[in-house]
Amino acid sequence: MPELPEVESARLVLERHALGRPIADVDDADTWVCRPHRPGEIRAALVGRQLTTAERRGKSMWCETSGPGPVLGIHLGMSGKVVFADADGRETDGGDYWQRGRAQGDHRFTRFALRFSDGTRLLLVDPRRLGRVRLDPPVERLGPDAGEITPAQFRVIMARGTAPVKVRLLDQEAVAGVGNLLADEALWRAKINPARPVDELSRAEVDRLHRGLRAAVAQAVGGGGVHTLSVVPARRPGLACPRCGAPMLRGKVGGRTTWWCSREQA
């Protein structure tokens, strides 16, 4: 599932190509991806306007529109990609979607599209149809972005309640943008067991986890995705901790598959 780094890559596609282009048409016919809007509702709100900014907090992405117009929210879901195509239909940007064996111009899985006045298009390509496009998304419910959260904000978030620390990291209203792999990486860096209740963490441990989270986000964004994180290759049976060589353990925390070092995160 896309996490913060993958969504940031999609935001950059918007920023590089989609801003300032007059919107000539909108394909919003997919009633599931565009719920709760009726077909034509997003089109009526956007045609004639321009996207003016490309914003992101955590795993949520949105664009301000001219006018002032409505905010356009785009969520990638588990398999979505934002793809920019030129006037001839050739995809010129869009992450690794076209490296999965599909030919250029294969638009079968386009669930939403903007056509600009110059003929270029912005597509939400989503084979599993789990993405979401909506007007005026409730981004105010999200917590601070995982890549920008301050030590003081992080201490407040970790001081509330008794939830396992990994569960708290995955709560998007607490910290926006942390998915399963980022959480495991941050906890591995901080040498904290993922099932530890947050109220048992010392201030030093909380601060260490904050540094681990920020470092994990920076590594994943710089490397092009969460697959580049240090502990990800060791998240398989029989493999060892990349740092100390102890066996890696697997279990469930908050219903999510979790890996941790048997020695340093005991």
Which of 43, 196, 256, 263 is flagged as catalytic?
A: 256
Q: Which DSSP letter does residue 137 get?
A: -
Residue among 3, 8, 64, 185 flagged as catalytic: 3
- Cis peptide preceding 36, ω within 30 of 0: yes
- The conformation of residue 191, written as its DSSP 8-state character, comes to T
SS3 of residue 164 by DSSP: strand
Return d(Cα 194, Cα 168) in angstroms, integer.
10
Whether 91 is a known active-site residue: answer no
User: Which is nearest to 141 in space by CA: 256, 58, 225, 46?
Assistant: 58
The DSSP 8-state label assigned to residue 163 in this structure reads -
Residue among 57, 59, 121, 189 flagged as catalytic: 59
| Contact status, residue 56 vs residue 71, Cβ threshold 8 Å | no
2, 5, 144, 194: the catalytic one is 2
Inter-CA distances, 120 with 63, 68, 90, 168, Å: 18, 23, 9, 42
Is-catalytic flag, 155? Answer: no
Q: Using alpha carbons only, what angle is made at residue 124 by residues 122 and 130, rounded to the nearest 5 degrees? A: 170
**Residues near 75 by Cβ (< 8 Å), separated by ≥ 6?**
59, 60, 61, 131, 132, 133, 137
* 256 is an active site residue: yes
Beta strands in the chain (DSSP E): 23-27, 51-57, 60-65, 72-75, 81-85, 91-93, 110-116, 121-125, 132-135, 248-253, 256-261
Q: Active-site residue 160, yes or no?
A: no
Q: Which residues are catalytic?
A: 2-3, 59, 256
